[in-house]
Amino acid sequence: MLPADRTAVLEEWTRAYAEWKEWRRKWGNRREPGWFSARARRELPVPPEWLPPACRIDAQDDEVLAAACDAWREWDRSDDVAAWLMQAPSAAGLAGEAEQKTQWWERIHLDAFWPMTQSGVSAFGVAGTHATIHVTKRLQIFAAPGAIVMRLPAVDGGQRWTPATDWGFSYSLFDFRMPGLDRPSAVHINLARVWVLGATGAQMPGELYLAGFSITFKRR
pLDDT of 200:
66
pLDDT tens, position by position, 45-61? 888 888 888 887 755 56
| pLDDT < 70 regions, the chain | 1-2, 28-40, 58-61, 77-102, 117-121, 199-206, 220
Instruction: Give the predicted TM-score (pTM) of the model.
Output: 0.52
Residue extents of the structural domains in the chain: 4-101, 104-217
| Three-class secondary structure assignment of the chain | CCCHHHHHHHHHHHHHHHHHHHHHHHHCCCCCECCCCECCCCCCCCCCCCHHHHHCCCCCCCHHHHHHHHHHHHHCCHHHHHHHHHHHHHHHHHHHHHHHHCCHHHHEEEEEEEEECCCCCCCEEEEEEEEEEECCCCEEEECCCEEEEEEEEECCCCEEEEEEEEEEEEEEEEEEECCCCCCEEEEEEEEEEEEECCCCCECCCCCEEEEEEEEEECCC
